[in-house]
Amino acid sequence: MSPKDLLIAAVVILAWGVNFVVIKLGLHGVPPMLLGALRFALAALPAFFVKRPQIPLRWLFAYGLTISLGQFALLFYGMYVGMPAGLASLVLQAQAFFTLIFAAMFLGERIRAANVAGLVIAAAGLALIGMQGGHAMTITGFLFTLAASAMWALGNVVTKAMGKVDLLSLVVWGSLIPPLPFLALSLIFEGPARIESSLAAIPLVSVFAILYLAFVATLVGYSLWGKLLARYPAGSVAPFSLLVPVIGLVSAAVALGEGLSAAEIAGAALVMAGLVVNVFGARFVQRILPSAR
């Protein structure tokens, strides 16, 4: 990968890693479902200038309802009810393993031994983190964040089933789907009075958060990531995503003063180890055992 593209990858990972701190800041002044509605309403604005992806509408709705609405409704609420930003960035990476399972179930893809080993290691880490409810996080927040990772994985499977598609176009047009459902959820669970008061006295930090989530994390992040995927094999690009929770944990510690217990640190280490085994395990086995190709 060229130095320029390495810099692009670093920009994307930094943008996505800091994203979790920004969500926390946004939730200080705007309730979760309203935050989701505002984020995707802004992210959908470029649809006036970006060509619609050449896919059936049912796939566009499936993508918007899973990876956009489902993932972020659950993630925003999970963080709202007590999931720390740093741990959220880590637990959300369980999507890699949910994707393996769902792809095997719905697309008939093969799960390799390295995938199983990584899944077991990461599951042990998630279980260890989940048992720490009441310390730095709530168990409700943890479960909602884990559910968000499953919705992300369903969106990944939908994307795989589409075949080749322009990622930026998909993200922009997929952003047209969530605003109205998010607004409906906000009206039901947060109420018109809460919506009105939040919008009338929205703090600048929440305005910044909404702009960041819509344009930096969503549009800039996915457009740059899509360029990298177009230039290089997925296997060369995907491992960079392992750095997202690292940036997430560090930025949450610096910006929000979040700390982890010894058990949570051990759980985080296991999750990261599981992700590394999942991504690199098969290649390592093939290098030491060529016959395993």
What number is the average pLDDT over the span 172-183?
96
Please name which of 120, 159, 151 lies closest in space to residue 275, comparing C-alpha atoms. 120
Confidence at 93, pLDDT banded by 50, 70, 90: confident
Q: Which residues contact residue 106 at a Cβ distance below 8 angstroms, ignoring those fewer than 6 apart?
A: 157, 161
> What ranges in 163-258 are assigned the alpha helix state H?
167-174, 179-189, 191-200, 204-211, 221-231, 234-237, 243-256
**CA angle, 71 as apex, 96 and 38 as ends, to 5°?**
140
pLDDT digits 0-9 by tens, 102-132: 888 988 888 888 888 888 898 888 888 877 6
Identify the DSSP state of 133: B
Percent of the chain with pLDDT over 70: 92
Q: Residue-wise over 94-125: b if at least 16 C-beta within 10 A, else e?
A: bbbbbbbbbbeeeeebeeeebbebbbebbebb
Per the structure, the count of domains in the chain is: 1
Statement: residue 292 has pLDDT above 70:
no
- Quick one: tokens of 144? 């909602």
The pLDDT value given to residue 283: 66
Pair 287, 124: CB distance under 8 Å: no
Query: Strand, helix or coil at 83?
Result: coil
Query: Strand, helix or coil at 31?
Result: coil
Range of the domain at 12: 3-292
CA dist., res. 270 & res. 268, Å (int): 5
Q: What is the CA radius of gyration of the chain?
A: 19
Q: Which residues contact residue 60 at a Cβ distance below 8 angstroms, ignoring those fewer than 6 apart?
A: 52, 53, 170, 173, 174, 177
Statement: residue 135 has pLDDT above 70:
no
CA dist., res. 250 & res. 17, Å (int): 9
Pair 148, 72: CB distance under 8 Å: yes
Statement: residue 24 has pLDDT above 60:
yes
The pLDDT value given to residue 282: 63
Statement: residue 21 has pLDDT above 60:
yes
Kindly report which listed range (47-61, 113-127, 220-234) carries the lowest average pLDDT score. 220-234
Statement: residue 175 has pLDDT above 60:
yes
Higher pLDDT, 3 or 177: 177
Q: Which residues contact residue 47 at a Cβ distance below 8 angstroms, ignoring those fewer than 6 apart?
A: 172, 173, 175, 176
Q: Which residues contact residue 105 at a Cβ distance below 8 angstroms, ignoring those fewer than 6 apart?
A: none
The pLDDT value given to residue 115: 84
When the pLDDT of each residue in the chain is averaged and rounded to a whole number, the result is 88
Residue 137: strand pairing partners: 133
